[in-house]
Amino acid sequence: VSETGCLSIVVLGASGDLAKKKTFPALFNLYRQGFLQSNEVHIFGYARTKISDDDLRNRIRSYLEKGSAKSEEVSEFLQLIKYVSGSYDTEGGFRMLDKEISLHEEFRNSTEGSSRRLFYLALPPSVYPVVCRMIKLCCMNKSHLGGWTRIVVEKPFGKDLDSAEKLSNQIGELFEEPQLYRIDHYLGKELVQNLLVLRFANRFFLPLWNRDNIDNVQIVFREDFGTEGRGGYFDEYGIIRDIIQNHLLQVLCLVAMEKPVSLKPEHIRDEKVKVRVSNTSLTHFSFPVMPIKDEEVVLGQYNGYRDDPTVPDHSNTPTFATVVLRIHNERWEGVPFILKAGKALNSRKAEIRIQFKDVPGDIFRLFSCLGKNQGRNEFVIRLQPSEAMYMKLTVKQPGLEMSTVQSELDLSYGQRYQQVTIPEAYERLILDTNYGRLQI
Ligand code: BG6
């Protein structure tokens, strides 16, 4: 951890799906790697369910005992977790939480050091305002030795522009901007983090990355499982708010943005914002990626979605969507950005495909094994599973004959970086919130 003194991490919504599947496992991995030390960190789970510390520990144990994790390590880590139950809209539970955190701080800070309090809201956005009010009222860091209180929230951040702005204002009235971390876990994925490096540290790409050379960009997310008991949440939001509006749009911004002045978070953010907000077209003043045409949207729902008992019988909520976005600026005019996302499909994959235009005046057409034009050059960045990037290109088929074939320049991380364990997205982001770094 970054500073001396103790760190209290509070997971609100501790018995929920996100906490079990992502938040606690990420904290456990940070602990195993020595980023969270048992002599300074304590983790508090908070939720409405009335259960004991051990009940919570038992509920999350199986999510931690995976891969190379040893059962003793898991037990050690679980001992750092304390559970407090309480409602989200009354002071009682939060006062109790504050008492528990203060006890931990007094114990750890008996000599010196500041106190850091990180509140991770693994909760639906409808309760963000009230929970933030309660934190402000009851649980702020009070140490005279310094430290901070920080709040982490995730998407979906509201349901539409009005509700997102309202939410932003409500939380913004309570906390200063540097205390607020609105995270998107796709930004913590290794190959998403790599996008800026790829684009701006490689001469190859600089002159090619534009409408003169690129025919279309596809950003695809597919999952091979359905709602799995999360139907209550999912049905209210649908695939567009669950995946496209946040995860895929963030990736799109990194693919499409101009080079930032520096790697300072605010410079990167400014360039990302310009992809979505520019004045290149007066009629589309606020949103260069708009308007989306009706005929360029396809929605679908997988068979069996309504069989999930948590989904209403007559739900029309889409679980699949394809949307074509167009960016009206000098670099991208005319290039479709095709965003696709779907649940319960036949495989799990997230990737970016940059398809290049055909080579003009193709002299190899008659020699192609395909018997037609060469296949196009394509640059594929696979975010998951099995992180990789590869470039499809045309080469001569080895042998005496002059014929051409499509092949690949392939950088598969599993092979190239065998010694490196690629961190889970949430590990990186939680670490960043502690170091006070902003996301890309
Ligand atoms: C979450 C969505 O944000 O991302 C889930 O709410 C989805 O519906 C998940 O399953 C996918 O994340 P990852 O990292 O497994 O691709």
Of 42, 144, 247, 328, the catalytic one is 247
Residues 342 and 321 sit within 8 Å (Cβ to Cβ): yes
Separation of CA 361 and ligand 1 centre (Å): 44
**Which one, of 362, 9, 358, 440, lies nearest residue 186 by Cα?**
440
Give ligand 1 pocket residues (Cβ under 6 A). Answer: 185, 223, 242, 350, 425
pLDDT at 287 over 60: no
For this complex, say whether ipTM is above 0.95.
yes
Q: Which of 63, 242, 343 to mutate to test the pocket of ligand 1 (most atoms within 8 A of CB)?
A: 242
pLDDT at 280 over 70: no
Question: pLDDT class for 283, splitting at 50, 70, 90?
Answer: very low
pLDDT value, residue 363: 86
Question: pLDDT class for 281, splitting at 50, 70, 90?
Answer: very low
Q: Which pair of structure tokens corresponds to residue 190? A: 């290794």
Closest residue by CA, ligand 1 atom 8: 242
Separation of CA 231 and ligand 1 centre (Å): 14
Could you read off the pLDDT of 88-100 as tens digits, one per residue?
999 999 999 999 9
Ligand 1 nearest atom to the CA of residue 348, by list position: 16
Ligand 1 nearest atom to the CA of residue 384, by list position: 16
328 is annotated as an active-site residue: no
Burial 288-309 (b: 16+ CB within 10 A, else e): bbbeeeeeeeeeebeeebbebe
Separation of CA 95 and ligand 1 centre (Å): 33
* Mean pLDDT taken over the chain: 91
Contacts of 89 (CB under 8 A, 6+ apart): 127, 130, 134
Closest residue by CA, ligand 1 atom 5: 242
pLDDT at 371 over 90: no
The whole-number average pLDDT for the span 231-243 is 94
Closest residue by CA, ligand 1 atom 4: 243
Ligand 1 nearest atom to the CA of residue 154, by list position: 3
Closest residue by CA, ligand 1 atom 9: 243
pLDDT at 286 over 90: no
Query: Could you tell me the CA-to-CA distances from 152 to 163, 174, 178, 319, 409 in Å, in that order?
Result: 18, 14, 11, 27, 40
Q: Which pair of structure tokens corresponds to residue 431? A: 């670490």
pLDDT value, residue 365: 76
Q: Which pair of structure tokens corresponds to residue 274? A: 């310009």
Separation of CA 247 and ligand 1 centre (Å): 9
Residue, of 205 and 281, whose pLDDT is higher: 205
Pairing of strands 41-47, 81-85: parallel
Closest residue by CA, ligand 1 atom 10: 223
